[in-house]
């Protein structure tokens, strides 16, 4: 076998061919099998794409074995400690950390695009009063193309940039409006004098007679810190289901707002963006601290349908680096915003029990970021049906970054996975009277 190639042989027809081994900056190399069918008369079969690289990307790197997550080469621990969400969003979109001037300009443009069209505000009235906020997110994000159709020339880099900025700027406004429609509250306009996280919290919780932010523009710094942290940690995560959906939709040439709507729809699934909401549902099922040992045993039983949500991760085989960061903030938030809700006591007791259990230690089933993020959001009074929406706000930064990267690549090809057909072989039509 030649250097940097892999030889594959098809024993059914005796054909053999060499395929290039592609190496990135870091991580496992990939076999370029683009000519596999032509050379050997076969396709690959990889359910869930667990062993398939669908693209080349310079945005995010994950080493699941060692618990490493890098955004544009920067360790997530450093960004979480030192950055704001908008600084990280700039990094993801542009490839480098911004200077003070660049960051100031970026923030200013985000503020200018944060308003949504008045006609779009009326659009919310078409949704049923108790519609799930995520259903509104899908519909409203997709409808943005009707308002900005004059700037949808995807061959124009400036149109692409403006589209990305609009989506990042407007998603908190749309998210807050989705919540307020679901509870029957009047919409709150974004304020140009507030930061990204502060603006969102103000649009979420202010009432005509009770403003969330006082006359001195005070908002609890612990709440802002927690939101910034969770938005940073959820901003991107390589080629996950929703990001891959955005890329696949983009490969058809669809407008960016439709592609983001597709990503939101994919994120809605409980196995993806709904995981932190599922954690609270699981805690509600457990009920009380004294029932934890029973449910721990149920989780160990492969024949029991119960699953311990918020522990372990499909990608991270050791520990989730985002969870390590989030844990301290979770305790900080709970100390700052104490509550008599027994769920918090239950959650912390479950964490302690699992971290001492030999089975969980052996299997390396540590609490992941979803376990702590759900607790933080609940402590900040974010409704449970908004948990996945919070994920959308954060992940929009990653989606638009991948979209920008993909659209700038020459020679794009439409995504077209193959299949193994398991239906009938050719058969003849039978007349209706003879069936």
Q: Are residues 133 and 38 in the same domain?
A: no
Q: Are 214 and 328 in contact (CB under 8 A)?
A: no
Is residue 420 situated within a structural domain? no
Is residue 285 situated within a structural domain? yes
Residue 74, judged by CB atoms within 10 A of its CB (0-12, 13-18, 19+), counts as middle
Cα–Cα distance measured from residue 331 to residue 341, given in angstroms and rounded to the nearest whole number? 15
Q: Is residue 313 flagged as an active site residue?
A: yes
Write out pLDDT tens, residues 23-46. Answer: 888 888 888 888 888 888 888 888
Q: Are 426 and 190 in contact (CB under 8 A)?
A: no
Mean pLDDT score, 141-161: 92
Q: Are residues 388 and 320 in the same domain?
A: yes
The mean predicted confidence, pLDDT, of the chain is 90
Write out pLDDT tens, residues 153-207. Answer: 888 999 999 999 999 999 999 999 999 999 999 999 999 999 999 999 999 999 8
Q: Are residues 23 and 164 in the same domain?
A: no
DSSP assignment of 64-99 equals TTTTEEEETTEEHHHHHHH--HHHHHHHHHHSSPPP
Mean pLDDT score, 349-360: 86
Overall domain count for the chain: 2
Q: Are residues 144 and 252 in the same domain?
A: yes
Q: Which of 402, 130, 408 is nearest to 262 (CA)?
A: 402
Q: Are residues 285 and 378 in the same domain?
A: yes
Cα–Cα distance measured from residue 140 to residue 124, given in angstroms and rounded to the nearest whole number? 8
List the catalytic residue out of 236, 237, 320, 370.
Answer: 370
pTM: 0.90
Contacts of 155 (CB under 8 A, 6+ apart): none
Please, what is the end-to-end C-alpha distance for the chain in angstroms? Answer: 57
Domain that holds residue 48: 5-53
**pLDDT category of residue 2 using cuts at 50, 70 and 90:** very low
Secondary structure of residue 108 in the 3-state scheme: helix
Mean pLDDT score, 314-325: 80
Q: Is residue 370 flagged as an active site residue?
A: yes
CATH of the domain at 10: 2.20.28.60
Cα–Cα distance measured from residue 113 to residue 125, given in angstroms and rounded to the nearest whole number? 22
Q: Which of 34, 89, 43 is nearest to 419 (CA)?
A: 43
pLDDT tops 50 at residue 1: no
List the catalytic residue out of 181, 234, 313, 402.
Answer: 313
Q: Are residues 244 and 320 in the same domain?
A: yes
Secondary structure of residue 52 in the 3-state scheme: coil
Write out pLDDT tens, residues 49-103. Answer: 888 888 999 999 999 888 899 999 999 999 999 999 999 999 999 999 999 999 9
């Amino acid at each position: 076998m030649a250097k940097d190639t892999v030889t594959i042989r098809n024993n059914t027809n005796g054909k053999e061919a060499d395929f290039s081994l592609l190496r990135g900056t870091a991580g496992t190399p990939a076999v370029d099998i683009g000519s596999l069918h032509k050379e050997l008369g076969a396709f690959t079969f990889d359910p869930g794409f667990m062993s398939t690289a669908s693209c080349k990307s310079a945005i995010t790197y994950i080493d699941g074995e060692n618990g490493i997550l890098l955004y544009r080469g920067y360790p997530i621990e450093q960004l979480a400690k030192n950055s704001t969400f908008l600084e990280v969003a700039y990094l993801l979109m542009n490839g480098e950390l911004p200077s003070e001037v660049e960051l100031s300009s970026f923030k200013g443009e985000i503020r200018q695009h944060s308003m949504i069209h008045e006609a779009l505000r009326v659009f919310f009235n078409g949704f049923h009063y108790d519609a799930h906020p995520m259903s509104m997110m899908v519909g409203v994000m997709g409808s943005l193309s009707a308002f900005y159709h004059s700037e949808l020339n995807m061959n124009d880099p400036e149109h692409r940039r403006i589209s990305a900025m609009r989506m990042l700027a407007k998603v908190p406004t749309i998210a807050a409006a989705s919540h307020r429609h679901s509870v029957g509250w009047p919409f709150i306009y974004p304020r140009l004098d507030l930061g990204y996280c502060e603006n969102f919290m103000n649009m979420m919780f202010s009432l005509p007679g009770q403003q969330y932010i006082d006359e001195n523009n005070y908002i609890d710094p612990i709440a802002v810190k927690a939101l910034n942290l969770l938005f940073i940690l959820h901003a991107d995560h390589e080629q996950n289901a929703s990001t891959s959906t955005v890329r696949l939709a983009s490969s058809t040439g669809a407008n960016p707002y439709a592609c983001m709507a597709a990503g939101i729809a994919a994120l809605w699934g409980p196995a993806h963006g709904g995981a932190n909401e599922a954690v609270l549902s699981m805690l509600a099922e457990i009920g009380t601290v004294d029932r934890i040992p029973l449910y721990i045993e149920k989780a160990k039983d492969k024949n029991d349908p119960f699953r311990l949500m918020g522990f372990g991760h499909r990608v991270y085989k050791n520990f989730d680096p985002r969870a390590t960061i989030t844990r301290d903030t979770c305790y900080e938030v709970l100390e700052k915003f104490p509550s008599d809700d027994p769920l918090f006591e239950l959650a912390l007791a479950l964490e302690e029990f699992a971290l001492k259990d030999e089975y969980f230690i052996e299997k390396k089933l540590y609490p992941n970021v979803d376990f702590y993020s759900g607790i933080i959001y609940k402590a900040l009074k974010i409704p449970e049906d908004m948990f996945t929406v919070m994920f959308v706000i954060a992940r929009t930064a990653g989606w638009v970054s991948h979209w920008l990267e993909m659209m700038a690549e020459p020679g794009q090809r439409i995504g077209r996975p193959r299949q193994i057909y398991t239906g009938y072989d050719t058969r003849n039509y039978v007349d209706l009277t003879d069936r």
